[in-house]
């Protein structure tokens, strides 16, 4: 009897070192499913050539395109942390295969300046290790001169990054928290630097600094500075208080008018290299354009677009390439009048959970971290994706489930939502509550009846222990759902629930109260981590943190077996046709050949298992760092699968009902699919001793 694979969890923790040998499997053929787009934190082009483009993400990845953004490929990673935010990328104009990038980290003690000598495929830290570096500029008149703006000061290198020197005073009250930089196109010693407070300038390479804020609102966070390449005295600056320009090298500033206050957070100011009076302001609420040097401004994108980075084609300046939040790359060929997405090969959404329709793997639902687009669905294997957010009132849900009748979602606040396609909206479901038993044989007077019935008629409740059924919202936090033809079971923080009407109403199952040795009821208030059910609904397996509860009579009676350890994280259970069990969690993998009475440690003991999916003849697990492992024999032997998630975590695993398709959702790199039969065949061949490449 095949038992549905247990649902997946999204807890992500650091991977432990492996002290065992696992034979690798030949590389799988993975198909990128999407969804396309993501956050483009930084964007740059090769000098004079926008066919060569590079973008940086908020988790250290560098993507490249050699055809103007029509196709992208993942090149490499900057830094060793998964929270390295790539704030700047610059290309050496003399040696275009040499790139520089800066990073700062959200939580780990990382950051610094990095260099690549092979067009972004590999990166080496070349300075300011551990510093939060938020800006980088290369001197147009001397490509060996680099200036980096960090939280603790400004640093300069005059030997292409081999050595760095602080050029701002240490522990200065104002010369800190640098967010933007610009270098005079003719004189590399003239440097503009914007802080969280105000802009500063040096004309002698940093020996002396002067504040330049006359005409600028005090306490302005200066997010970008741009120097007119044709007139170095003409400088632009964007701040939280508005957009400014100066005709005298920053000595005096004039504020541009015409941009609404709610669009003041301007991340970048770019000047058209052929038409100096045309300037673009990339804001968190759209792209604004002026063609008359700031006299009038026009919004040239939807206001909902948050523009994080931008490139103007120096050859055809009507061609704009925008790096956005969520939507990836957007390209305009006509100066912002029209746009098209350019995300082929760039799928970098932050996925926290996913559900795969086991009957149709082309249908996938993903949960994103974005409050603007919390859920996306594809019904055609990723060719198109549709937002499914209507009806969500508490942001992205913590879990999603592929039920036989459609999608269900578990909000973080508790309860369940069902996606009603007739209404194109998420709808709350109710829990059926059994109230106090109705007293035996009581007479009820019906005060309001139909016109065809005589007044004063009565109805009599049946003798014995009847009950009054009432309905109230389901508020329990749902961890897992298992499905059979007649009953669905939900594992919640408040116990096990059952539904007889395809998930529309839920109740605590009627559980036996007799408690012989190791036999009895499963407490209704015990938090259930995961649940599985046989296709006929007779056998149910429910896991708590400490024990496995098994029922063979539709939940009437239960046998409880202690687990080999107390789980403090995600826990998964897989059962084979002969009822052998595989338990995976934060202590590795355990096996049981006697229905859970005894357990033995598998060879994955040093790993923390985050996800699990069962195929027809195989089980696949993912470690918390993203590595995938496959067993073709219920856990006796394991092989290492090549993961499409690179070195990122896997947020979800799923399979077809017949086990022929494996779907992997990377936490940051989208959804991938592969043929499980091929993977299983390779694995079995490899276990027999066939040669396989080492990873």
Domain count, the chain: 1
Q: pLDDT-based confidence at 260, cuts 50/70/90? A: low
In this predicted model, which residue has the larger pLDDT, 359 or 558? 558
Mean pLDDT is lowest, of 6-15, 378-387, 461-470, 619-628, for 6-15
pLDDT tens digits along 477-534: 999 999 998 899 999 999 999 999 999 999 887 554 333 334 445 555 689 999 999 8
Residue 458 in domain: no
Over 60: is that where the pLDDT of 370 sits? yes
Three-class SS of 348-379:
ECCEEEEEECCCCCCCEEEEECCCCCCEEEEC
In this predicted model, which residue has the larger pLDDT, 679 or 613? 613
Give the structural domain span for 631.
23-29+349-437+467-687
On whether the CB atoms of residues 656 and 361 are closer than 8 A, the answer is: yes
Please state whether beta strands 133-138 and 124-127 pair in parallel, antiparallel, or not at all (unpaired): unpaired
In sequence order, what E strands does 361-461 have?
364-368, 375-378, 386-387, 399-403, 406-410, 417-420, 425-428, 430-438, 443-445, 458-460
The whole-chain average pLDDT of the chain stands at 84
* Range 627-646 average pLDDT: 86
Burial class (CB in 10 A: 0-12, 13-18, 19+), 173: exposed
Kindly report the number of other CB atoms within 10 A of residue 295's CB atom. 11
The pLDDT of residue 87 is: 92
Q: What token pair was written down for 417?
A: 């939502």
* Range 343-358 average pLDDT: 91
pTM above 0.85, yes or no: no
Residue 121 in domain: no
**19: Cβ contacts below 8 Å, ≥ 6 apart:** 606
Over 60: is that where the pLDDT of 653 sits? yes
In this predicted model, which residue has the larger pLDDT, 358 or 470? 358
Residue 61 in domain: no
Q: pLDDT-based confidence at 647, cuts 50/70/90? A: low
The answer to whether the peptide bond before residue 35 is cis (omega within 30 degrees of 0) is yes
Q: pLDDT-based confidence at 680, cuts 50/70/90? A: very low
Residue 329 in domain: no
Residue 562 in domain: yes
Measure the CA–CA gap between 509 and 589, rounded to whole angstroms.
30
* Range 294-313 average pLDDT: 93
CATH code, domain carrying 620: 2.130.10.10
Residue 485 in domain: yes
Residue 68 in domain: no
Measure the CA–CA gap between 354 and 364, rounded to whole angstroms.
7
Measure the CA–CA gap between 681 and 117, rounded to whole angstroms.
40
The pLDDT of residue 617 is: 77
pLDDT tens digits along 572-594: 999 887 778 999 999 999 999 88
* Range 265-271 average pLDDT: 88
* Range 387-409 average pLDDT: 93
Measure the CA–CA gap between 230 and 219, rounded to whole angstroms.
30
In this predicted model, which residue has the larger pLDDT, 393 or 318? 318
Question: Does the CA dihedral 680-684-4-644 come out positive or negative?
Answer: negative
Question: Highest mean pLDDT range out of 140-149, 507-516, 625-634, 682-691?
Answer: 140-149
Mean pLDDT is lowest, of 250-254, 320-324, 515-519, 638-642, for 515-519
* Range 597-620 average pLDDT: 87
Residue 15 in domain: no
* Range 7-36 average pLDDT: 52
Please state whether beta strands 210-211 and 199-202 pair in parallel, antiparallel, or not at all (unpaired): antiparallel
On whether the CB atoms of residues 351 and 37 are closer than 8 A, the answer is: no
Q: pLDDT-based confidence at 235, cuts 50/70/90? A: very high
Share of the chain above pLDDT 70, in %: 84
In this predicted model, which residue has the larger pLDDT, 260 or 259? 259
């Amino acid at each position: 009897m095949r038992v549905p694979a247990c649902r997946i969890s999204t807890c992500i923790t650091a991977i432990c070192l492996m002290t065992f040998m696992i034979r690798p499997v030949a590389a799988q053929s993975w198909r990128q499913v999407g969804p396309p787009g993501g956050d483009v934190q930084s964007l740059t082009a090769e000098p004079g050539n926008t066919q060569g483009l590079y973008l940086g993400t908020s988790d250290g990845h560098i993507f490249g395109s050699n055809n103007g953004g029509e196709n992208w490929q993942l090149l490499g990673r900057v830094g060793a942390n998964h929270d390295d935010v790539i704030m700047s990328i610059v290309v050496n104009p003399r040696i275009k295969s040499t790139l520089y990038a800066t990073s700062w980290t959200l939580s780990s003690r990382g950051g610094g300046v990095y260099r690549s000598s092979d067009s972004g495929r590999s990166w080496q830290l070349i300075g300011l290790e551990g510093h939060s570096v938020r800006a980088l500029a290369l001197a147009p008149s001397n490509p060996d001169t680099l200036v980096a703006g960090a939280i603790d000061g400004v640093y300069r290198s005059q030997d292409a990054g081999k050595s760095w020197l602080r050029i701002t005073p240490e522990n200065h009250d104002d010369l800190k928290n640098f967010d933007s930089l610009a270098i005079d196109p003719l004189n590399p010693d003239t440097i503009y630097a914007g802080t969280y407070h105000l802009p500063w300038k040096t004309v002698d390479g940093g020996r002396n600094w002067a504040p330049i804020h006359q005409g600028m609102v005090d306490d302005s966070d200066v997010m970008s500075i741009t120097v007119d390449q044709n007139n170095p005295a003409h400088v632009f600056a964007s701040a939280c208080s508005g957009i400014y320009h100066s005709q005298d090298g920053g000595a005096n500033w004039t504020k541009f008018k015409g941009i609404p206050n709610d669009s003041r957070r301007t991340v970048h100011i770019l000047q058209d290299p052929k038409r100096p009076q045309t300037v673009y302001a990339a804001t968190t609420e759209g792209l604004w354009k002026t063609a008359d040097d700031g006299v009038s401004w026009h919004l040239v994108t939807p206001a909902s677009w948050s523009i994080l980075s931008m490139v103007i084609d120096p050859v055809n300046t009507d061609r704009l390439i925008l790096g956005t939040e969520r939507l990836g790359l957007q390209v305009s060929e006509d100066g912002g009048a029209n746009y098209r997405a350019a995300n082929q090969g760039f799928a970098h959404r932050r996925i926290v959970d996913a559900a795969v329709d086991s009957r149709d793997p082309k249908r996938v639902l993903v949960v994103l971290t974005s409050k603007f687009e919390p859920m996306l669905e594809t019904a055609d294997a990723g060719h198109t994706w549709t937002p499914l957010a209507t009806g969500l009132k508490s942001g992205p849900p913590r879990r999603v489930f592929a039920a036989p009748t459609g999608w269900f979602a578990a909000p973080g606040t508790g309860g369940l939502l069902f996606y009603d396609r007739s209404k194109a909206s998420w709808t709350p479901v109710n829990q059926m509550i059994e109230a106090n038993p109705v007293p035996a044989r009581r007479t009820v007077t019906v005060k309001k009846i139909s016109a065809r019935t005589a007044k004063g008629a009565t109805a009599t409740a049946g003798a014995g222990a009847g009950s009054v059924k009432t309905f109230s919202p389901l508020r329990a936090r749902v961890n897992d759902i298992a499905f059979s033809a007649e009953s669905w079971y939900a594992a919640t923080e408040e116990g096990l629930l059952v539904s007889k009407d395809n998930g529309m109403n839920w109740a605590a199952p009627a559980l036996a109260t007799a408690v012989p040795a190791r036999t009895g009821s499963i407490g209704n208030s015990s938090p259930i981590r995961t649940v599985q059910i046989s296709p006929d609904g007779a056998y149910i397996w429910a896991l708590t943190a400490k024990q496995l509860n098994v029922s063979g009579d539709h939940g009437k009676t239960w046998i409880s077996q202690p687990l080999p350890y107390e789980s403090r994280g995600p826990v998964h259970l897989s059962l084979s046709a002969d009822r052998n069990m595989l338990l995976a969690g934060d202590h590795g993998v355990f096996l049981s050949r006697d229905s859970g009475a005894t357990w033995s440690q598998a060879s994955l003991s040093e790993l923390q298992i985050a996800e699990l999916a069962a195929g027809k003849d195989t089980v696949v697990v993912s470690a918390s760092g993203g590595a995938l492992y496959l067993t073709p024999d219920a856990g006796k032997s394991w092989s290492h699968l090549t993961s499409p998630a690179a070195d990122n975590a896997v947020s979800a695993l799923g399979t077809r009902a017949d086990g022929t398709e494996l779907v992997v959702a990377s936490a940051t790199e989208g959804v991938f699919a592969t043929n499980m039969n091929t993977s299983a065949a390779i694995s079995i061949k490899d276990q027999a001793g066939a040669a396989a490449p080492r990873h």
